[in-house]
Every structure is written in structure tokens, then in C-alpha cells.
């Protein structure tokens, strides 16, 4: 079950059922199913509080993903994905992607982390970006047809 919530923002994701199907497709491409997945859209200050409280980091970010699987080897993904709409909007402008494309990139990014992709090294970042781009291509192809 994939659920969408919002905290301290008026943003509301559109096309929820299409997004859920897209996310299930991404997970399946990695050999996973989705169990309990929560996307929480929020503002910068809310996510900064999460970052400080749970990760000990004192900086703004666009996304924080928490894996809540009891068994890390499980093929069922469970997690909470917090996304700062403020930072996503700013990044979309800064990178020339626009908000819609950037929000979908970040939505996929959180799931990709749970599927095992990481972005700590340059090589991992390159692989993550390629996975994001593949997911975005699927999304925009599906929504245009």
C-alpha cells in the first residue's frame, strides 16, 4: 500500500493511482514488491527537523528515506519517504528541470534507495542518475499516452 501525506505544505500530489502503478513497476524492475510505503511531502523546516532528530544532520535536503523493513533481505519494501517541496521547487529551477519533473525525480529517488541504489560516491551517483532518468522516461511516456 502506497500512501501520500503532507505536513506544513499545501502541495498535493496529483495522479496518485498512476504514480502508485509507476512506483510498483520501478520496484518490480528490481525484483521487489511494495508493502507499506508512505510519502510525506513537507516544507524545508519540517524536513530539517527530521534531519536533525533522526540523522544528526543540521542542513536542508530535498529527501530523506527511511527503510522500515524488519528483514533487510526481504523482497517487500516498507518505508517512509520525506520530501521537501520547497527544496525540490528550488532545485527544479536551479537545474532547469522545472518542478513537475524534479518532484517526480525525487519521488523515484526515494524508492530507488529502498531498491538498493545509493549515491555516496561519484560512481553510485552516476548509476542513481541513470536509474532516475529511466524511471522518469517511463513516467513521462506513460502520462503522455
- Cα–Cα distance for residue pair 50/21, rounded to 1 Å: 28
Alpha helices in 55-121 (DSSP H): 85-94, 99-114
Confidence check: pLDDT of 143 > 90: no
For the chain, what are the domain ranges? 2-144
104 near 143, Cβ under 8 Å?
A: no
Q: For residues 45 and 8, is the Cβ–Cβ distance under 8 A?
A: yes
Q: pLDDT digits over 62-121, tens only?
A: 999 999 999 988 999 999 999 999 999 999 999 999 999 999 999 999 999 999 999 989
Superfamily of domain 2-144: Metalloproteases ("zincins"), catalytic domain (3.40.390.30)
CB 65 within 8 A of CB 79: yes
Calculate what percentage of the chain has a pLDDT beyond 90. 92
3-state secondary structure of 34: strand
Q: How far apart are the first and last CA of the chain?
A: 25
Please tell me the predicted confidence (pLDDT) of residue 67. Answer: 96
Residue 85: CB atoms within 10 Å = 24
Q: Tell me the three state secondary structure of residue 79.
A: strand
- Using the structure block, give the residue that is written with the C-alpha cell 533481505: 73
Amino acid at each position: 500500500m502506497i500512501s501520500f501525506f503532507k505536513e506544513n505544505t499545501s502541495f498535493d500530489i496529483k495522479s496518485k493511482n498512476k504514480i502508485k502503478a509507476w512506483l510498483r513497476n520501478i520496484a518490480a524492475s528490481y525484483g521487489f514488491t511494495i508493502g507499506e510505503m508512505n510519502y510525506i511531502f513537507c516544507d524545508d523546516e519540517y524536513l530539517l527537523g527530521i534531519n536533525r532528530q533522526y540523522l544528526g544532520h543540521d542542513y536542508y535536503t530535498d529527501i530523506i528515506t527511511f527503510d522500515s523493513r524488519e528483514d533487510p533481505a526481504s523482497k517487500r519494501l516498507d518505508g517512509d519517504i520525506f520530501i521537501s517541496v520547497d527544496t525540490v521547487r528550488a532545485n527544479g529551477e536551479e537545474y532547469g528541470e522545472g518542478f513537475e519533473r524534479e518532484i517526480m525525480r525525487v519521488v523515484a529517488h526515494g524508492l530507488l534507495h529502498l531498491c538498493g541504489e545509493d549515491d555516496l560516491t561519484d560512481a553510485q551517483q552516476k548509476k542513481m542518475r541513470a536509474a532516475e532518468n529511466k524511471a522518469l522516461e517511463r513516467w513521462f511516456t506513460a502520462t503522455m499516452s
